[in-house]
Structure 1
Amino acid sequence: MLRVVNAAGQSMFRHVLSGLVNNQKNGASLLRVSACYPQMQRHMSAQHNFPRHPVPPLTQTLAKFVRSVQPLLSPSELSTTKSLVKDFEEGDGQKLQQILENRARNMESWLADWWLNAAYLAYRLPVVVHSNPALVFPRRHFQTEEEFLKYAADLTYAALNYKSDIDNDKIPIDKMGKQPLDMTQYKRIYGTCRIPAPECDKMHFTDPSRPVHHIVVARNNNFFKFCVYDSNGEIISPAKLLVGLKTVLNASEKPGEAVGILTSEHRDTWARVHSDLVKDARNRRSVEAIQTSLFLLCLDGPTSNIRAPNIATMDALKMIHGGGSKENSGNRWFDKTIEIVVGEEGEVGITVEHSPAEAVPIAMLMNYCLDFLEKMPKSKRGEDTAAFPKPEKLQFNISSDIKNAIEVAQQNLDKLVEYTDFLCCTYSGYGKNLIKEFKVSPDSYIQMALQLAYYRLHNEPAAHYESAGTRLFHLGRTEAIRSCSVESVHFAKTMLDSKSSNEDKKQALVAAVKSHKDYATQAALGQGVDRHLLGLKLAAIENGMQLHPLYRDPSIVRSTHFKITSSQVAGKGNSVMCYGPVVPDGYAACYNPLPNTLNFGLAAFKSGRGTDVKAFHDALMASFDDMEKVMAIGHQTRAKL
């Protein structure tokens, strides 16, 4: 059973609601390319019996919005916001609501194509750190190069088997309670790649009528096309995969030109360089082989310059950005939906380009692979000497202009690596089992700990995004849970007030948790605030209407400046997902609640604006300690209590 809150936390929502698409020109550009998403839908398996994404009542959304922004506004600002909301509701809002409802009646999803473009493809900052999340597997311990390559071969074999199960509809249908969830995203993760283009990128999706038979293996900045199916369409054996990976290793002793690092650039820069790169026929063939591959397998070498406070963070940095230009960042193609990374030092994970899917299919891929490897028959690991096509090294002709672009990309990525702080950590005091004994939602409880940590550190509330999956609906993606609420702020203030009694603190915590859980449930049912406001705005742009002043009001600007971006991504064992903040003065917090511990991937920018990932970690750990003491009153659950 999946939780209501189950999707990855990367949201580019602020830039489409109050930031980068504030003018008609950019908005019109975004809308012109929206047809790419419906075209892709025709290549997906048929979906049955899922309702269309609803358009919430306008009055309901605006009332929720006003209440959600109350903690972030002064009394005079709130009064102005209420006046603007009333004017919007009685005027433009009614017209836009009708347009949106008509769109919903005539499309499979009124939101899906808008969301793909607005949240991802039109986002121009580098996908590295800013958009791509990374899933970190439990660390391995390779004693020899042979063990390293065997594990990579077996993991590749497992990932290919997962694709077969998806293609043949053998994977269990995800459910929320007893309700089935739309599985479209699972069909999008293999063979998919983001393609840079000016203003708004494009997506390559595999055509089922032309199945793809190859992956691409990256080693020492070199790329190899590796056919992983035999003439009968069967996956080649792990032994053959191992032989192929040995071939790659032997052919990669000399570093290649770091073409892959271009994918870490600003999207408009990369679009321009990409256009020049593929003018050469050899380059175009190599790039297309990468873009059309089922996935990338990145075989990373040892590192020497990455500094991290612990092994888990070290592994996360390798997954998020590769460590920089002097490490393994050139051994990537960050536009690929799936990049499986296996490093000689034991780091294993998946780097994800976020456009086509949320975290759930990727987390399920990880869980499947780990289970598959545990149960893999020994006979599958035996010798297999039958002939098969050897991996083909992809060749590039690097002009002086492209070489200069690579050097600039290396410098820019190194600055981004230096600018970003990540910290993977575990709260070991307790886990979701104890939280359940408190009779509260573990996810809502963790969300309130994040709220308390921020208030403890900065003495003010933070606009706080948590993603809720909306896969109860056809082509559903996410809705924003606004975790900062009147109740969460009252809870934080009460917890930090030395004059408050323990009973007052407990009541405030329980009320805050309930408020969050209620909003999370509404968001999963398509009754949140943010996607509706986005739809109304894009409807205005599409119809040439002037945007209402509400969209420039501090209520929207401040409440979508998400100083905490968060999500729950449950994974098997000691794993965690991580990603970067979405604003310069914000934090990212992804978590995996385990029975007796809580794993976190935290991040902040060294922006000079007061964020400090280590201080946030300390505040978060203290918050969990304090919350347990409050909830344990009259509740004897453990021997130490």
Structure 2
Amino acid sequence: MRTFLSSTSVRTLPSTIIKRYSLTIQNSKSYLICPILSRNYSLQIETDKPKTFSNQHIIPRLPIPTLQETTERYKKSLLPILKPEEYTRAANAVDEFVKADGLGEVLQKRLHELDKIEKYSWLENIWLNKAYLEWREPSIINVNWWCEFKDHPNGVLKQVPKGQITDFQINRTAGLISNILSFNDEINNELLPPESTRQGPLCMNQYKKQFGTTRIADSPVDRVISPWPATAKHIIVLFRDQIFKVQVLGEGGARVTIKDIERQLKSIVEQINNINELQLPIGLLTGEHRDTWATARKALESQSSENRSNFEAIDTALFSLSLDDYSTDSDIDVSHHNLFHAFNGRNRWFDKCFQLIVQSNGRAGVNGEHSPADAVIPGRIFDYIVSKEPAQDPPNSSSIPLPTPQHLKWVTYPSLETILEKAQSNIQAANDNVDSVLLHYNEYGSNWLKSAKLSPDAFIQMALQLAYYRRQGEPCPTYESASTRGFLHGRTETVRSCSIDSVAFTKAFDDKDFKKEQKLALLTKAIETHLEYMISATNGKGVDRHLLGLRCQIQTEEEKSRALIFTDPSYIQSMYFKLSSSNLSPGDYFYGGFGAVVPEGYGVNYAIGKEGIKFSISSYKKYSETDSTSFRKILKNSLDDLRDFVA
């Protein structure tokens, strides 16, 4: 048994001995092995922190709930959205599915067999493919998300003429790039502390999928490349639809100064200002139908090795940057659209895991592709990079000459211009259909809610239920994402927020025949029900992922015809989430949003700060059933009414 000397003891040893010990790593701690002392002694330096992925081996696998657990919860979730006769039919289909020796048991057994052969999780590849990569509609509105950053400590510039790139924009952009590179260093070197909750450690795998990650359009299903460690030395920069490969690290990943990065960005502007002919806006294709884009990409790749080299540069880049030579209105209802879809889809590459976007006035944010990771992970990066503004040079940086940014030139083919024109038309139509507004509610936040002994998240979910009921006159299937990072390679589970208890509350709230005590009891019950579902979902015992896994085990048409649980209209109806929501709290350094997931629905993102709540609300203009501005007004009134009611 070895005796370990403390780090203070090391300082008392003769320097001749100190110089001769060797360093070894064991159990995430550094040990200084000193042969002069004895092979039975070593010196342990106890200043090391746990490595980023040091807890991965103790994180449990995602469980497979029992058929009984899932189907009972599923039937309960159908009650508030089905008529009695519809519920009876749906319940009979569920009971047939789970009866002894029925199809449910066969599919459940197959799911357990799949779990034995999958390295990390039975769900991981099913979810990646079914939720994202097999989806063929354009990702620009249907998949991607956006975040707007808190403005720089020095604010933003006023009245910048269109067509200009400003020094302030370049300086903030270079600082953000430097901060992002610092975060990537922490992941590559496993310096980011492993995260945990009171229930235990959280899976850190999604951090490996942030840098150098790209969704690649392919047929019949897309692909994702995601190297780790992410050791590329370059990013891609889009300026006026032109794409540049820009080195931002020295040889071996050596860090450069912010001024060096500024020079790279200014070089791009100078090149474009002095160019005679611009390349076609290839980035538009990333906002097109995935099959159209996959076909066009293969055609471009077949044209030349130069095109293939361009795609390699784009796909392997640490991330993407869009420099916009314009500024949006100071009205946040307008400015966030530039991050959402750029109004016309130009000067973007929507397939990168995240693309930093900076306007000429210095306002900044991100557009992200959803398939590699869920919001909380890039959110952690954004907290880091924005909280460290104004950015400072990293301690290990030095001024290093970098290669001149490379303007990517494309070898095109005759029909490409027509394809791009059609892409522009399709993207414009989709973007013009988006009805997205913000609500920055400043009457109260988590401090007041906690003082009132209310769960902030569950309370906001009930406020959304009340607002929807007031707006539409009926409840609807509602989605809230719950993280399952307590399990290895966990992603999300659905919390079905619309319950029989939430409906009872929303129906009673504006009913004068109910006394305040009765309404308060109904609100309390609805919150308790929501919290119970949230706990079950985070523990891997929700409804939607298990049912998806079972459905994917069907092998024959005969089995498909017998699976009445999935062919009954209630299955699709219960997942037709007219209200889709996500909690991205606290919103101190950024807030964000996403598109509604069904044509007649709303997409609501919210960030609960200590003294306020930031909402984004999206819907589609083509459908008269929805109106984001109207919903915002009703939601604000609902928040006010609930405050007065609870106070």
Specify the TM-score bucket, using the shorter chain as the normaliser: 0.7 to 0.9
Cα 1:528/1:358, change in 2 over 3 Å:
same
Range that drifts further, 142-151 or 395-404: 142-151
Higher relative contact order (CA 8 A, sep 6+): 1
**Which residue among 136, 140, 152 is the counterpart of 1:128?**
140
1:67 alignment partner, one of 72, 76, 92: 76
Secondary structure, in 3 states, of the residue corresponding to 1:80?
Answer: helix
Residue 176 of structure 2: which of 149, 152, 155 is its match? Answer: 155
How big is the shift at 1:207?
Answer: 5.4
Deviation track 1:583-639 (CA, whole Å, cap 9, x = no partner) reads 00000000110111100111001122411001111111111111111211xxxxxxx
**Residue of structure 2 equivalent to 1:213:** 233
Paired residues of 2:387 and 2:589 also in contact (CA < 8 A) = no
Measure the CA separation in 2 of the matches of 1:292 and 1:135.
Answer: 23
Equivalent of 2:627 in 607, 612, 618: 612
Query: How do 1:402-421 and structure 2 match up within 5 A?
Result: 402-421=416-435
**Deviation, structure 1 residue 314:** 2.2
- How far did residue 571 of structure 1 move? 4.7
2:316 maps to a residue whose letter is T
Structure 1: stretches of 5+ with no match in the other structure: 1-43, 633-641
SS at match of 1:545: helix
Q: What is the aligned-residue identity percentage?
A: 33
The residue number in structure 2 matching 1:186 is 207
Residue equivalent to 1:334: 350
Are the structure 2 counterparts of residues 541 and 605 from structure 1 closer, same or farther at C-alpha, using a change threshold of 3 Å? farther
Match of 1:269 in 2: 292
Q: Secondary structure at the match of 1:223?
A: strand
Is residue 435 of structure 2 the alignment partner of residue 457 of structure 1? no
Q: Which residue of 2 aligns with 1:18?
A: none
Is 1:315–1:348's contact at 8 Å kept on the other side of the alignment? no
Displacement of 1:145 after TM fit?
1.2
8 A contact 1:53–1:474 mirrored in 2: yes
Alpha carbons 2:250, 2:400 under 8 Å: kept: no
**1:370 corresponds to:** 386
2:244 alignment partner, SS class: strand
Equivalent in the alignment of 1:349? 365
Distance 1:411 1:558 in 2: 32
- What amino acid is the match of 2:180? A
Alignment match, 2:19: none
Aligned runs of 1:255-404 on 2, under 5 Å? 256-281=279-304, 282-302=306-326, 311-324=331-344, 329-374=345-390, 376=392, 386-404=400-418
Listed one character per residue, the Cα deviations across residues 498-552 of structure 1 (whole Å, up to 9, x for unaligned) are 2222222211111111110110010000000000000100011489832512212
Which of these two proteins has the greater Rg computed from alpha carbons?
2
Shift of 1:246: 0.3
Residue 526 of structure 2 aligns to a residue whose secondary structure is helix
Using the alignment, how far apart are the partners of 1:606 and 1:175 within structure 2? 42
Q: Secondary structure at the match of 1:270?
A: helix
Give the secondary-structure state (helix, strand or coil) at the position aligned to 2:560: coil
Question: Is 1:576–2:591 an aligned residue pair?
Answer: yes
The 1-side partners of 2:556 and 2:418 are apart by 40
Tell me which amino acid in the other structure corresponds to 2:346. Answer: G
**Alpha-carbon distance in structure 1 between the residues aligned to 2:551 and 2:530:** 26
Determine if contact 2:247/2:403 at 8 Å carries over to the other structure.
Answer: yes
Question: Offset at 1:280?
Answer: 1.9
Alignment of 1:509-588 (within 5 A): 509-541=523-555, 545-547=559-561, 548-573=563-588, 575-588=590-603
Cα 1:185/1:45, change in 2 over 3 Å = farther
Task: Find the aligned partners of 2:422 and 2:54 in 1 and give their Cα distance.
Answer: 42
Distance change >3 Å, CA 276–CA 571, structure 1 → 2: farther
Q: C-alpha deviations, 1:269-316, integer Å up to 9, x for none?
A: 11111111111222221122111100001111115xx7x8x6222222
CA distance in 2, matches of 1:379, 1:199: 47
Instruction: Select between 567-576 and 442-451 the one with higher mean Cα deviation.
Output: 567-576
Name the SS of the counterpart of 2:139 in structure 1. Answer: coil
Bigger shift: 534-543 or 409-418?
Answer: 534-543
Task: Give 1:639's aligned residue.
Answer: none
Q: Is residue 47 of structure 1 aligned with residue 56 of structure 2?
A: yes
TM-score, normalised to structure 2's length?
A: 0.86
User: What displacement does 1:378 show?
Assistant: 10
Check 1:488–1:46 CA distance in 2 against 1; reply closer, same or farther (3 A cut): closer
Distance 1:543 1:103, change over 3 A: farther
Other-structure match for 1:38: none
Q: Secondary structure at the match of 2:600?
A: coil
Match of 1:628 in 2: 643
Q: Distance in 2 between matches of 1:195 and 1:87?
A: 41
SS of residue paired to 1:109: coil
8 A Cα contact 2:149 2:363, kept in partner: yes
Contact conserved, 1:574 with 1:599, CA < 8 A, in 2? Answer: no
Alignment partner, residue 229 of structure 1: 249
Q: Superposed, which structure 2 residues align to 1:168-183 within 5 Å?
A: 168-183=189-204
CA distance in 2, matches of 1:379, 1:311: 38
Output the CA distance in 1 between the equivalents of 2:396 and 2:334.
32
Residue 104 of structure 2 corresponds to residue 89 of structure 1: no
Contact 2:214 2:226 in 1 (8 A): yes
SS of the residue aligned with 2:113? Answer: helix
Partner deviation per Cα, 1:92-124 (whole Å, 9 max, x = no partner) = 111111111222233221100111001000011
Counting matched residue pairs gives 578
Aligned pair partner of 2:266 in 221, 228, 246 = 246
Q: How far apart, CA to CA, are the structure 2 residues paired with 1:172 and 1:265?
A: 39
State how far apart, in whole Å, the 2-side matches of 1:49 and 1:378 are: 34
Contact 2:244 2:405 in 1 (8 A): yes
Q: 1:11 is matched with which residue?
A: none
- Deviation of 1:437 (Å): 1.1
The answer to whether the 8 A contact 1:581-1:604 is kept is yes
User: Contact 1:469–1:477 (CA<8 Å) still a contact in 2?
Assistant: yes
Q: Give the alignment's Cα RMSD to 1 decimal.
A: 2.0
1:41-86 Cα deviation digits (max 9, x unpaired): xxx9993111111000101110000000111100001111111111
The answer to whether the Cα contact below 8 Å between 1:470 and 1:523 also exists between their aligned partners in 2 is yes
Deviation at 1:572, TM superposition (A): 4.8
Unmatched 5+ residue regions in structure 2? 1-52, 159-164
